[in-house]
Structure 1
């Protein structure tokens, strides 16, 4: 009997739909994660995720929580499509006559998926981080308001409406994603969009090595029989558990990646020349705990994101859509 073939177009459609739905649901938490990871000891504005979201709404309005969402929604479709489809592709070709994959082969398939996705992930996150962190940078760069200040707060708002205290309105005049892209391409070429590629690989490859085997094994535990997919709620829970576990495990590298990809900083904030320099400065100036910044935010982002993704994926929406297309006769 011939091996069961996988439909790559259907897998790509499933991954794309899953990414769009998931990102729309969890983007504000992702914004909080970026801002928490980027703030350093000398420019601490937020004490927690809830504090960050409250201050963001107060200073930038409700839609401030979705700053950078357009970039994410545009590129998450190919990113998630590549990630999920590549994992299926590698699992299919690593299996022997349809037999269950060994743990090592599952991890190898995850490694391949994580490596493939960085083609889209790196420029997507490079642009998203600049837009997400614009509100924090506007406040960090604003002049401090003290009791001995001669100019009144009202006068400061007239002079610098884009830079007032975190509790008041902030008019964030950040460039658009297209402007950032054009500037990077003009100044540094395609390499500008791929700044932080090494750190992205160090994050996404281990993430996929942990996530995909863990999800597959948890999902298999929920199957009622040897054949057929697990119920949708089992896929959702398995995706949430596997996603949050992998997210927390690689959070230290995510902090490094976020810092390296941030182009604008406050005057008191460190700059980094590479992964090693970033690790050294964070350890020296902020201590080991800094590598866990935003860990619970990242877990809250990844858990529902991959839970939703796996449900959409296993519902086979791509196969359903393709079923309406006319079949080519040989």
Structure 2
């Protein structure tokens, strides 16, 4: 209902729980996506998502697929909470007149949500990418030593705290926000596509004019809208991943910004490089947002908040 009062704390709880459940389920695929996107023509180590995961398990064991998961699980709660709650807030604000939201207003609400979330998303992905890509650089040094600069130091098993301290020491807070522009260019269009598409797909599955859609409809709508938006913005995700990766092999390009990254990728790898990891990203985002929407609409946060006052009595 357009006039339904939104409980912000409940939405924050729902978004946080949804993020934790979703990330836990799909993180290995996200790791494969990062490593595939970071591969350049002269240092291709993995041929596919399955090849990447198999080689990761062989070299690092099962838990090697969860490199960087701790950072994601810690920060995904505020990130998803901000994203989902902000979209809800903007949708409510834009429908104060009681009229059904137009497509433009739905896109505007999504734009606001995407803009709000980058405060958490940028440092989270900055740290996550370093941790996820560390294993690729280790394997590259062992299997393709000619692609690694002689004497280049590769930290074998960095921790999030080590990376954070080094970034803060060398570059200050700006070090954690490297790639902010690329993150905005990815997350704002993603939200503009995702939220209106989800809302309209979910609306199609409602049982009645006023009743909510069944949970499986919300799940499928979240999957379809998430995968569509993920593939649409994948070129920018490739750019963001490349810019945020601090360590490179000896024959791999480094980038000074979005424009420089686009130019070098087109020159050395061609337009097809912007689709690297697209199917992995779709496989990550589809269940992540499907699960998120189910958790969100189940109203776990509302149940928790309604229970707390009863305990106080």
Q: Structures share a fold, TM > 0.5?
A: yes
The CA distance in 2 between the partners of 1:175 and 1:254, in whole Å, is 23
Alignment of 1:275-294 (within 5 A): 275-294=258-277
Alignment of 1:54-133 (within 5 A): 54-133=54-133
Structure 2, unaligned stretches of length 5 or more? 147-152
The CA distance in 2 between the partners of 1:97 and 1:8, in whole Å, is 20
The SS at the match of 1:323 is helix
1:3 is displaced (CA, Å) by 3.5
The CA distance in 2 between the partners of 1:74 and 1:252, in whole Å, is 27
Partner of residue 150, structure 2: none
Change (3 A) 1:7 1:191: same
Q: Does 1:264 align with 2:247?
A: yes
Query: Is the Cα–Cα contact under 8 Å of residues 3 and 96 in structure 2 kept in the other structure?
Result: no
- Once the two structures are superposed, residues 103-151 of structure 1 have per-residue CA deviations (whole angstroms, 9 ceiling, x without a partner) of 00000000000000000000000000000000111122347579xxxxx
- Once the two structures are superposed, residues 237-268 of structure 1 have per-residue CA deviations (whole angstroms, 9 ceiling, x without a partner) of 00000000000000000000000000001001
Change (3 A) 1:131 1:145: closer
Q: Does 1:310 align with 2:296?
A: no
Partner of residue 141, structure 1: 141
Partner of residue 45, structure 2: 45
Change (3 A) 1:144 1:283: closer
Query: Is the Cα–Cα contact under 8 Å of residues 141 and 267 in structure 1 kept in the other structure?
Result: no
The CA distance in 2 between the partners of 1:124 and 1:96, in whole Å, is 34
Change (3 A) 1:200 1:144: closer
The CA distance in 2 between the partners of 1:221 and 1:192, in whole Å, is 44
TM-score using structure 1 length:
0.90
The SS at the match of 1:297 is helix
The CA distance in 2 between the partners of 1:76 and 1:98, in whole Å, is 33
1:96 is displaced (CA, Å) by 3.5
1:69 is displaced (CA, Å) by 0.2
1:326 is displaced (CA, Å) by 1.6
1:216 is displaced (CA, Å) by 0.0
Partner of residue 191, structure 1: 174
Could you tell me which of 281, 285, 299 is aligned with 2:282? 299
Query: Is the Cα–Cα contact under 8 Å of residues 107 and 212 in structure 1 kept in the other structure?
Result: yes
The CA distance in 1 between the partners of 2:157 and 2:250, in whole Å, is 17
Partner of residue 12, structure 1: 12
The CA distance in 1 between the partners of 2:3 and 2:32, in whole Å, is 45
Could you tell me which of 195, 204, 208 is aligned with 1:221? 204
The SS at the match of 2:208 is coil
The CA distance in 2 between the partners of 1:226 and 1:218, in whole Å, is 15
Query: Is the Cα–Cα contact under 8 Å of residues 207 and 250 in structure 1 kept in the other structure?
Result: yes
Number of equivalent positions:
306
TM-score using structure 2 length:
0.94
Partner of residue 158, structure 2: 175
The SS at the match of 2:248 is coil
The SS at the match of 1:130 is helix
The CA distance in 1 between the partners of 2:135 and 2:256, in whole Å, is 24
